[in-house]
Structure 1
Amino acid sequence: MDAPTTTPADNGTSGGNGGSGWFTPHREPEPADAEQAAGDGRRLAGLRPVGRPTPGDDSPVQERISPAPDAAPAPQPPAVTPPRAQPSHAKAPEAAPVEAVHRKPGHTHDAVGALSGSPQPEPGPSPPDPAPRPRVPAQRPAPGPPKASPDAVLIRRTMAEVGPVADKVTSYFYALLFVRHPELRPLFPAAMDTQRDRLLKALLTAAEHIDNTDVLVAYLQNLGRGHRKYGTRPEHYPAVGECLIGSLSRYSSGIWNEETEGAWVRAYTTISQVMIDAAAADELRAPAWWYGEVVSHDLRTADIAVVTVRPDQPYPFLAGQYTSLETPWWPRIWRHYSFASSPRSDGLLSFHVKAVPAGWVSNALVHRARPGDVVRLGPPSGSMTVDHTTDNGLLCLGGGTGIAPIKALVEDVAEHGERRPVHVFYGARTDHDLYDIDTMLRLQQSHPWLSVRPIVDQQARLQLPDAVREYGPWNEYDAYLSGPPGMIRSGVDALRDIGIPSDRIRHDSVEELVAAGD
């Protein structure tokens, strides 16, 4: 589908994310950016390529930063000191050496924990026996929220500083990258002006969760796996880090210092390490992409089509997940679509796609694709899946083409032979836009535990949460939301208000969702 609320829209980012992250361009650099980047690029020391892990290899995956090919090898690994951008007439001060974060494969949580300042247990002597406790325990203040690590504070301060000039930061970053590393240009789409900024969004997401190891690791691992389909290799990460730090230092010069630079070097070293590890592990069990032949193209409305493809090899996924799709007409432009069914015995995959104005991929899939055409599929992603270890009911809100993953969840419950109640609220702007209502009503007839309620909102607000309040109670239900980002945000708030705990409200990260677009 074109803009599933559980997934990024046709031009959006991904949790994972299929098309989000470090290597998706913002726009073609302006001539002034490229000219300035050329001068700054010649001054950057450059992070050198990292190594790719091999099965059973116990050596560090993140190799030491090595000298340039024409330099004599040093007896000790040199320090990583990405330079700060300086005006052409000023002499750049020497930065204090900052050691890179090195570790062995399999210690991802340890590395991120060290970055975030999470306490690490250390062996030591047993403490002495405590003194007898008094009858009336002393009053102690309640513990407050965990204190952010110094690196996290500096990184968030940088992001706050560059936020107002995000467009300039990203434009300068790509200008610097292409001037200094022109060999990376083929990794990007030819028409870069159609791309949204994903670098800053990835940085903001990482900065937001830098003190939450589990969330950050899962986010970065998803990015690492998803970047395989772009042709990203371990040796590309140092070039990106070099230009990233050069761009951030240029546009946060008022607060940039050696401590800030060191924090970013450590952060990027750890971030890239997690992504490299995830990609290497994924390479052992799955291809970077799958080819899929279009076998069916069902035009449901003037701008919505159900497209079914046959992958060239088995494609493992779970109901409720999504993938990224590339058409032959727009190479290297990927968009995210949810699977519209649970895994099928014939291996076919179906997607609900809505053509949006100026949407490159969505319009191609709706108006141009025909049986026999071949598309490329990225790996599956997303966490909006059914928990089969509980017998809680399912409360599902699907807006527009967001009904696709909801339908998949219903099929998944049925295939597991469960009889727990499932309530689906299907929202659309008009009766005509309820393009899949017949399918949902047939499922309702086949499964007495399923209830389907169509909600038509001619004001295009898709206020499904308001309709949900009229029913219930929902205390014993897990909630699933899929639709426009605005519906997700209001839906989450409404469900919390009526008593559903946050850990039982499922949707893919709102930060990875964008408004309608290609």
Structure 2
Amino acid sequence: MVEPLAGEITVYFYAILFARYPEVRPMFPQGMDAQRDRLLRSLLRIVDLVDEPESLVRFCGHLGRDHRKFGTLSAHFPAVGECLLDTLARYAGPAWTPDIAAAWTKAYGTVAQVMISAAEQDEAVRPAVWPATVVRRVSRGHGIAEITVLPHMAYEYAAGQYVSVETPWWPKRWRYYSVANAPREDGTLTLHVRAVVGGSVSGALVHRAAVGDVVQLGPPMGDMVLDAAEHDELLFVAGGTGLAPVRALVEEVARRGGRHQVELFLGARTVAELYGFDDMLRMAQRHHWLTIRGAVSHEHIPGIRGSLPDVLADYGPWYQHDAFLSGPARMVDLARETLTHNGTPARCIHHDPFETPVLSTP
């Protein structure tokens, strides 16, 4: 009922939160647009999952662990709950009955407790953030840079996962990037970053970051990992900087002795934008189990032409494969539809979350 007023609701919520509890304001970035959007989507996701207890607990656990990097404490939850319920009551009007108020009060208490418990369990085993020094920066053209960082403390993750990054130039603004390598002995991580229009964090990483700069990393997240596969036959599909987690997965297959057969499709609009293709070709020359194909959708050239979803349909079926998809949301959506239509079980299709990952995990 209040969703059509989402913009007003989130503005009002943060206004009364900061007015009543000014001590929490420093935890947030100066620009609040992205934060308001995240609040709304988290609330909508909680409502969507209300009849799926396991999924709801899992989602709220993700939120709780992710909020540690903001400095969130258990004492903050009652203040947020008070302001949130007052906001909903204001905008729901007569629909905010005693029964509805009681239900939301109980629901918020449950969500808060799950988040607090997840954060406390996480705190017992690892830090909230990891400082990391930039040790290498390579420009790939077309607004893309490879940023390699060395965390100051041991950073455990699995190939295919993603991390949140905060730069010194935009405090409190965290953005998510996939790690482009399997775990290395030297502990370094390489991120593929594209400078998006209006993107403060991506722009800073691509155009401003230099060796010696220190960024902050949040905990590793994501389930697009090799252990999720049911089959020995794997299909990897990557568009643009979606190559990053796919490259990490290819390295992980190699680390495990090449027990899988891997078909890799890389896609771009033009040949010039088909970044990373040469590197992956060299990997295919070293590993007999890896086959790589590049597809271009907006340029007439010899070889494969067309969008990745169309190319997948031509080369399929893939119903005996586990598929790992990474890239623009539209591409991933269409590729998933193509694979499902041609018989690939949904449980065997793995992909990166869209937008803010912690709010979008399937």
From 212, 217, 232, the equivalent of 1:377 is: 217
Which residue in 2 is equivalent to 1:277?
117
Gaps of 5+ in 2: 300-305
Q: In structure 2, do the counterparts of structure 1 residues 284 and 448 end up closer, same or farther at CA, with 3 Å as the change threshold?
A: same
Q: Is the 1:396–1:479 Cα contact (8 Å) retained in structure 2?
A: yes
Q: Is the 2:147–2:190 Cα contact (8 Å) retained in structure 1?
A: yes
Moved more, 385-394 or 269-278: 385-394
Deviations 1:354-383 (A, max 9, x none): 001111000100000000000000000011
Give 3-state SS (helix, strand or coil) of 1:247's partner. helix
Partners of 2:352 and 2:113 in 1: CA distance = 24
Give 3-state SS (helix, strand or coil) of 1:433's partner. coil
Which residue in 1 is equivalent to 2:340?
496
Partners of 1:463 and 1:273 in 2: CA distance = 45
RCO comparison, higher one (Cα < 8 Å, 6+): 1
Give 3-state SS (helix, strand or coil) of 2:292's partner. strand
Which residue in 1 is equivalent to 2:128?
288
Q: Is the 2:163–2:178 Cα contact (8 Å) retained in structure 1?
A: yes
Partners of 2:47 and 2:122 in 1: CA distance = 25
Paired residues, number: 353
Aligned residue type for 1:373: D
Q: Is the 1:225–1:275 Cα contact (8 Å) retained in structure 2?
A: yes
**Equivalent residue runs for 1:146-295 within 5 Å:** 161-193=1-33, 195=35, 197-295=37-135
Is 1:335 the counterpart of 2:179? The answer is: no
**Equivalent residue runs for 1:59-78 within 5 Å:** none
Give 3-state SS (helix, strand or coil) of 1:431's partner. coil
Q: Is the 1:485–1:513 Cα contact (8 Å) retained in structure 2?
A: no
Which residue in 1 is equivalent to 2:326?
482
Q: Is the 1:323–1:380 Cα contact (8 Å) retained in structure 2?
A: yes
Partners of 1:254 and 1:438 in 2: CA distance = 63
Relative to its length, the structure with more strand (as a share) is 2
From 230, 233, 236, the equivalent of 1:393 is: 233
Aligned residue type for 1:233: L
Which residue in 1 is equivalent to 2:291?
451
Q: In structure 2, do the counterparts of structure 1 residues 196 and 342 end up closer, same or farther at CA, with 3 Å as the change threshold?
A: farther
Q: In structure 2, do the counterparts of structure 1 residues 433 and 503 end up closer, same or farther at CA, with 3 Å as the change threshold?
A: same
Q: CA deviation at 1:448?
A: 1.0
Q: Is the 1:304–1:354 Cα contact (8 Å) retained in structure 2?
A: yes
Partners of 2:270 and 2:212 in 1: CA distance = 33
Q: Is the 1:488–1:510 Cα contact (8 Å) retained in structure 2?
A: no
Normalising to structure 2: TM-score of the pair? 0.94
Deviations 1:228-277 (A, max 9, x none): 01000000011111111111111111421011111111111110111100
Q: In structure 2, do the counterparts of structure 1 residues 448 and 214 end up closer, same or farther at CA, with 3 Å as the change threshold?
A: same
Partners of 1:230 and 1:291 in 2: CA distance = 14
Partners of 2:332 and 2:94 in 1: CA distance = 38
Partners of 1:195 and 1:213 in 2: CA distance = 26
Partners of 1:302 and 1:428 in 2: CA distance = 12
Partners of 1:165 and 1:194 in 2: CA distance = 17
Partners of 1:196 and 1:456 in 2: CA distance = 37
Partners of 1:265 and 1:191 in 2: CA distance = 29
Partners of 1:479 and 1:384 in 2: CA distance = 10
Which residue in 1 is equivalent to 2:303?
none
Normalising to structure 1: TM-score of the pair? 0.66
Partners of 2:291 and 2:152 in 1: CA distance = 36
Aligned residue type for 1:333: R
Deviations 1:194-230 (A, max 9, x none): 6551111001111111111221111111111111010
Q: Is the 2:312–2:335 Cα contact (8 Å) retained in structure 1?
A: no
Q: Is the 2:317–2:343 Cα contact (8 Å) retained in structure 1?
A: no
Partners of 2:335 and 2:231 in 1: CA distance = 23
Aligned residue type for 2:125: R
Q: Is the 1:339–1:405 Cα contact (8 Å) retained in structure 2?
A: yes
Partners of 1:447 and 1:472 in 2: CA distance = 22
Q: CA deviation at 1:387?
A: 2.1
Q: CA deviation at 1:418?
A: 3.2
Give 3-state SS (helix, strand or coil) of 1:325's partner. strand
Give 3-state SS (helix, strand or coil) of 1:298's partner. strand
Which residue in 2 is equivalent to 1:31?
none
Gaps of 5+ in 1: 1-160
Give 3-state SS (helix, strand or coil) of 1:294's partner. strand
Relative to its length, the structure with more helix (as a share) is 2
Q: Is the 1:399–1:482 Cα contact (8 Å) retained in structure 2?
A: yes
Higher gyration radius (CA): 1
Partners of 2:211 and 2:221 in 1: CA distance = 26
Partners of 1:252 and 1:196 in 2: CA distance = 18
